[in-house]
Chains A and B, each alone.
Chain A
């Protein structure tokens, strides 16, 4: 029943009534492709083994109708955080990289974020360029920002960063250099008044 809906003539005038919820749909996809589904806030994540990354994505494209390559990125799960906020449960955190790729349909609102976990000392995964030409730039960006290697990407050179740039800026261990040089000027706004017991920068 669901397949016929997906292969249907296209969009109706208004949003079609969903016949299955996002949760049911994502669990079905995860079952068929061999993964683990997590759905929260109307957003489906499907965790897959990194060895099966390429084959799972190919099946998602060919069998589940998720042929629109939306984006791909990396996530650095790290206990030590140089800038910004850390994770809630630091002790229980399994330090790793995640590679996340969003695929969606161009007929309805079906969409899933496929996630592969990579160990930090072996951040290598298959490239999706054989499946989606658009993956090349996204993988180059993730390579710039996280140092993740994509096996099979034909042109894995810096996309955003200058050629001589050292380091991977979106790593949690990478400092924000502008703030090292000059503190965030917005701190002035919450500075305590004279005679105030509060420390400068305290939350109000």
Chain B
């Protein structure tokens, strides 16, 4: 029997497989999946390797912060809000506390504002470094994780050095920031709020961050394998991003250079120089590059702020009992992930009547069903990861 004869015996099976259809099949991903950044479940309807539709199921981590904030006083709520986006806890505290200050008519001292600015930018670096490490990991590259997390730890040490907390600083007070333990009522000198040597440590850490960004540039951005997985994948056009309320790096990667630090600053951002990073095509690769360059800009801001920070008191004079006059206001800030805001309705008491939390990842994730339609299953993780969401921020 020749080889041809042997092969021909399988002819009928080949014919079947050529005609084999791949009808709609449901693929359940999560809620426990290594690349879901928490507990997110996706119900994907697939045809072979092609995704027909995706239904995200969220709410596994819903903690009801909007209800909880109705039963807590304004002072107690700070503890809640830095747990919404725990990767950048400090950044979510700032818009809340600014909103309360605006309703009360309190102006925090300059030094407190600069400390808030420095810590917000450090939180941005720490948050983006999580993305820098986890996103290549999801695509199969493990080395960037070690580079990024090693230097992220140094940034967290800086945050811990001032606030005492790595993830949940709870450092903002109505009218300023928390004075160091032992500072008491006299806030005479600089040494009482920032530990000695902290600024020098910050400068050397920022230098390391620049070097690490260059490493990632050569290691990840120009990498052929990384480009093959990300360039042209998961393109979000600008009009679609705006319609879904995408903000932050996700929006800027789609070619909309909108940055609240320039448009609506409530910290002294006009006094420092930095560029708004944006890209054109809106694919996964652009979203990575935008965040990488934002780390560099944030480090530049920190270095300038360290030079410019004035001395002075840390807290403005506020009543011992925080009561907020009747009124409604919305304050938003440029969180590392985008627009983060609080709409506070006060009826004149110690607790808000209602507080709406505009969490960034919720809107950023809501585009997922649209963007995944028609993609391949291997691209699902690449697209999902590139949105840089935190499930605590989605579920609140």
Interface residues of A (CB under 8 A from B): 10-11, 13-15, 40-43, 45, 67-71, 73, 75-76, 83-88, 100, 102, 106-109, 111, 113, 132-134, 136-138, 145, 158-162, 169-170, 174, 176, 179, 184, 186, 203-204
Contacts and interface: CB of A to CB of B under 8 A. Distances in A.
A83 B353 CA distance: 10
11 contacts: A14-B262, A15-B262, A71-B358, A83-B71, A84-B353, A85-B352, A106-B258, A159-B59, A170-B66, A176-B71, A203-B350
A85 B350 contact: yes
Contact of B258 (A102, A107, A161): A107
Given A15-B270, A42-B102, A159-B59, A170 B242 contact: no
Given A113-B343, A134-B243, A160 B328 contact: no
A15 B352 CA distance: 31
B308 interface: no
Q: Give 10 nearest A-B pairs by CB, closest first.
A: A84-B70, A41-B329, A134-B244, A160-B59, A85-B349, A160-B62, A134-B245, A137-B366, A69-B245, A106-B258
Contacts of B356: 71, 73, 100
For the complex, would chain B's binding face be called helix, strand, loop or mixed by DSSP majority?
A: mixed
Nearest to A186: B76
Contacts of B265: 15
For the complex, would chain A's binding face be called helix, strand, loop or mixed by DSSP majority?
A: loop
Contacts of A75: 345, 354
B258 to A, nearest CB: 5
Most buried by B among A41, A67, A76: A41
B242 A68 contact: yes
Interface in B206-248: 240, 242-245
B330 A102 contact: yes
Contacts of B62: 160-161
Contacts of A70: 245, 339, 341, 358, 363
Contacts of B358: 70-71, 102
A180 to B, nearest CB: 11
Most buried by A among B256, B257, B348, B354: B354
B264 interface: yes
B155 interface: no
Interface residues on B, range: 35 or more
A170 B270 contact: no
Contact of A10 (B257, B343, B347, B349): B257
Nearest to B73: A186
B251 interface: yes
Given A71-B363, A75-B354, A134-B363, A40 B244 contact: no
B58 interface: yes
A41 B349 contact: no
A107 B238 CA distance: 13
B182 interface: no
A145 B299 CA distance: 41
B71 A84 contact: yes
B370 interface: yes
Contacts of B351: 84-85
Nearest to B244: A134
A40 B328 contact: yes
Nearest to B358: A71
Contacts of A13: 262
